[in-house]
Amino acid sequence: MRSALARALLLLAASTIAGPRPVAPGETQADRSVVAALVKEGNALHDRGDFDAAIAKYREALKISPQDGEVMYEIAFSLEAKKDYPAALEMAEAAARLPKRTRMLPVLLGNIYDEMGQPKTAIKTYRTAISVDPNFFLLHFNLGIAYLRQPNYDLARECLENSAVLAPAHPGSHFQLGSVYRTQGYRVPAVLALAMALSLEPATGRSREALAWIDQFFEAGVEIDAQGNSKITVNPNTPKDEGDFSGLDVLIPMITVSEKLIPKAGGELQGPPQVHRLVSLLQSAGELDQKTLGRGFAAEYYVPFYAELVRNKVVPGLVALALAGSTSSEIATWCAQNADSAKRASGIAARHAWTVTGRPKLPPDGEFTVPPMPTPSR
């Protein structure tokens, strides 16, 4: 099954497709208005989960405008949502044969193929569409998810990095990229990506999952005995092609130990422990020397952003955004106290130049060849 995330993305995209449509040959403006109204009603029904009723509205519209590829897309989308994949595929492929195709159609086609157990065809579909529309982030994102399900983590990572560059305000790209980093042992890049995802989407099921992963990172390799003595174990062989974060890899368990040592020494943490962890690490990440880090996507994409937060003294604001969904009253109080900083951090994220040299670039894939799109009928 495709993830709830991908399903939500399609739902969001579908809600933006309806709108003013040009009058087709043989149609009147009145016909166009009726079609638009029917599609709007269908969208509302789809959003409520009443897919059969939505499809009925779309089919009424298709009777008025039989060659309307956008209406066909809506029908295929609702058929896919109700898991009638063969019918969805038939309608989507019919839409693909028309001269005018909606930008979302290859995304839907790829998802349907994936749901039908045809991952190679899904991957071919996404890659073909990217060769035509390379700056559409959802194509890179869905291709990354398809590779992730193979699993091919290296290719998934590259695709999700492309998606993050093209749509830095899309929380799913950061979340899934953080998930891949975690799986492949990139501990610091994972925290940087997951913190960004949380700042954009702090209160969902996957947000809670991201917070749990971050806690696991800080707890791994730390042993504290009954007398309070601590032992830290660090993996010296963490991968460095995303940037050399070895210094921060050592710092992570030290931050965890400091949560007990600082209060004992009469000092104060930078808020509750979960806050202290993230503020300390993200602050340190933003203070890293780019020359020491070397090349790598995480080093070139995430670190400059955290550096900008450091320069503006709003790292706590980013953490307040990331932890806004916490059920802890102590953390909620801290977040409220840092509301102004959070607002400034959000503004910086919106204005930041999220760029990396040479992106986006479709990764090579020797196993799959790119087929041509269906030739439009005339």
CA 341, CA 320: separation in Å to the nearest integer?
A: 8
> Which CATH number fits the domain that encloses residue 152?
1.25.40.10
Give the model's pLDDT for residue 18: 39
Give the model's pLDDT for residue 229: 73
Give the model's pLDDT for residue 105: 95
Report how many domains make up the chain: 2
- For residue 234, tell me if it sits in a domain: yes
Residue 58 has pLDDT above 70, yes or no: yes
CA 251, CA 263: separation in Å to the nearest integer?
A: 18
Listed in sequence order, the residues at least 6 apart from 99 whose beta carbon sits closer than 8 Å to its beta carbon are: 376, 377, 378
Residue 349 has pLDDT above 90, yes or no: yes
Phi-psi region of 323 (alpha: psi -120 to 50; beta: other; left: phi over 0): alpha
248-303 pLDDT tens trace? 999 999 888 888 888 877 888 889 999 999 999 999 999 998 888 998 999 999 99
- Mean pLDDT of the chain, nearest integer: 87
**Same domain? 141 vs 271:** no
**Same domain? 257 vs 333:** yes
**Same domain? 223 vs 146:** no
Give the model's pLDDT for residue 377: 34
**Same domain? 162 vs 268:** no
- For residue 365, tell me if it sits in a domain: no
Residue 204 has pLDDT above 60, yes or no: yes
> Mean pLDDT across the stretch 235-259?
89
The proportion of the chain whose per-residue pLDDT surpasses 90, expressed as a percent, equals 71
Confidence category of residue 160, pLDDT binned at 50, 70, 90:
very high
**Same domain? 147 vs 227:** no
Residues in the chain: 378
* Helical residues (DSSP H) of 265-314, grouped into ranges: 273-286, 290-293, 297-311
Residue 372 has pLDDT above 60, yes or no: no
Contact in structure between 288 and 244 (CB atoms under 8 Å): no
CA dihedral of 41, 42, 45, 46, whole degrees rounded to 10: -150
**Same domain? 110 vs 228:** no
Give the model's pLDDT for residue 15: 39
- For residue 373, tell me if it sits in a domain: no
- For residue 83, tell me if it sits in a domain: yes
Give the model's pLDDT for residue 111: 95
84-127 pLDDT tens trace? 999 999 999 999 999 877 899 999 999 999 999 999 999 999 99
Between CA 100 and CA 109, with CA 104 as vertex, the angle to 5 degrees is 95
- For residue 172, tell me if it sits in a domain: no
Q: Which pTM value belongs to this model?
A: 0.86
Give the model's pLDDT for residue 350: 95
**Same domain? 136 vs 255:** no
Listed in sequence order, the residues at least 6 apart from 149 whose beta carbon sits closer than 8 Å to its beta carbon are: 114, 119
> Mean pLDDT across the stretch 309-322?
98
Residue 4 has pLDDT above 70, yes or no: no
* Helical residues (DSSP H) of the chain, grouped into ranges: 4-17, 29-47, 51-64, 69-81, 85-96, 105-115, 119-132, 137-148, 153-166, 171-184, 187-200, 205-219, 246-264, 273-286, 290-293, 297-311, 315-322, 329-337, 339-351
Provide the residue range defining the domain that includes 243.
218-351
**Same domain? 124 vs 8:** yes
Helix (H, G, I), strand (E, B) or coil at 232: strand
